[in-house]
Amino acid sequence: MRWNELSDETCSLARTLAVIGDRWTLMVLREAFLKVRRFDDFQSRLGIARRVLTERLSHLVEHGVLEKQAYQTRPLRHEYRLTAKGRDLYPALLSLVHWGDRHYAGADGPPVVHTHISCGHEFHSVLSCSECGEPVEARAVTVRPGPGAG
Amino acid sequence: MRWNELSDETCSLARTLAVIGDRWTLMVLREAFLKVRRFDDFQSRLGIARRVLTERLSHLVEHGVLEKQAYQTRPLRHEYRLTAKGRDLYPALLSLVHWGDRHYAGADGPPVVHTHISCGHEFHSVLSCSECGEPVEARAVTVRPGPGAG
DNA sequence: TTGACTCAGTCTTGTTTCAAGACTTAGCTG
DNA sequence: CAGCTAAGTCTTGAAACAAGACTGAGTCAA
């Protein structure tokens, strides 16, 4: 079986991975959150093969994560911007970055620090419960079939 | 260039993806969080090719995300368990799942619901700031080079 | 003590995807 | 007109993947 033949109905993760579960795709999204928007900028910052970049960008556009907008007309040029759906990926992406920071930063600390504008502090991400607001960890969660289960 | 030649020093995400940024790997981890521990259970639940599963599991063990422990000696059999480092991936994984729930659940709702044992409620995940506790969104965050930058 | 069964892999053989970078197109600039 | 820029497209060889048959070490039941 191929990964993308996994049942979508019982697994939101498979669905998510079908859209963004590819290493270059995630790197492209990281750049997008850093406000990179143009083909050649993605290409030169990542060093990704142009053919692969073309394919990843159109895939993301097709799935509504990015949108392609003209930023000039003569010559016609487009840029790729995150949609609301794309911005919703921020928590997932930041969690992945912070996992890397936590487990692979050298003695000096992480390569990048994030500042929360609202409170003014450097921060790291914490996953919390939408209902009680407390931090969530794996052992405090149970899983059961939901209304959309097959 | 290949994705894994990206500079680790300036990018925790590339480092993270080198360890877990593969679709099957993430599906394996999802099962691990659902308490699946044995080779054949991973294999039959996911339908993954056995060769690929072998490779992914050893990769995860090698990187300290899973550990291989004997659960019986005659015949010698092992199981794969999440380490603390592996459990730290829970926020990232749950965020990915919830993104899928949010954007791809059918009219009925998501295929799986998560209950937070501590408070007893069904919940979804919220990424919050470690300093002020408020939810974080992309536009409220600035990024700059940290102490470990190259 | 033989035959079936379980678990955890390994091996083989096509198929698919990927990487690198040269090439293309359309319009602008000097 | 020559060269430049942005955004791709194309070709070719290399790497990764899927399917599933096979292996080996031990258990169990007759």
Write out pLDDT tens, residues A79-132.
999 999 999 999 999 999 999 999 998 888 898 999 999 999 999 999 999 999
Domain-ending residue, one of A36, A66, A82 = A82
Residues B23 and B94 in one domain: no
Q: Which of B14, B82, B127 sits opposite A27 (nearest CB)?
A: B14
In a domain, A15, yes or no: yes
Domain-ending residue, one of A42, A62, A82 = A82
In a domain, A145, yes or no: no
d(CA A81, CA A61): 9
Q: Which residue of B has its CA nearest to A49?
A: B1
- Interface check A13 vs B, CB under 8 A: yes
Reported confidence tier of residue B6, pLDDT bands at 50, 70, 90 = low
Chain B neighbors of A90, CB-CB under 8 A: 127, 136-138
B101 touches strand D (CB under 7 A): no
d(CA B138, CA B136): 7
Q: What angle do CA A110, B126, A81 make, to 5 degrees?
A: 70
Q: Are B100 and A96 in contact (CB under 8 A)?
A: no
Nucleotide closest to residue B49 (CA–C1'): D18
**Which residue segment(s) compose the domain that B105 sits in?**
90-140
Confidence at residue A4, expressed as pLDDT on a 0 to 100 scale? 65
CA proximity to B77, closest of B20, B104, B37, B19: B37
CA proximity to B3, closest of A60, A48, A20: A48
Name the phi and psi angles at A126, rounded to 5.
-130, 130
Would you tell me how many other CB atoms lie within 10 Å of the CB of residue A10? 15
Q: Model pTM greater than 0.85?
A: yes
- Interface check A2 vs B, CB under 8 A: no
Query: How many domains does chain A divide into?
Result: 2
In a domain, A148, yes or no: no
Would you tell me how many other CB atoms lie within 10 Å of the CB of residue A5? 9
Q: Which of B138, B140, B149 sits opposite A118 (nearest CB)?
A: B140
The contacts of residue A52 (CB under 8 Å, 6+ apart) are A24
Lowest mean pLDDT among A1-5, A40-44, A96-100, B79-83: A1-5
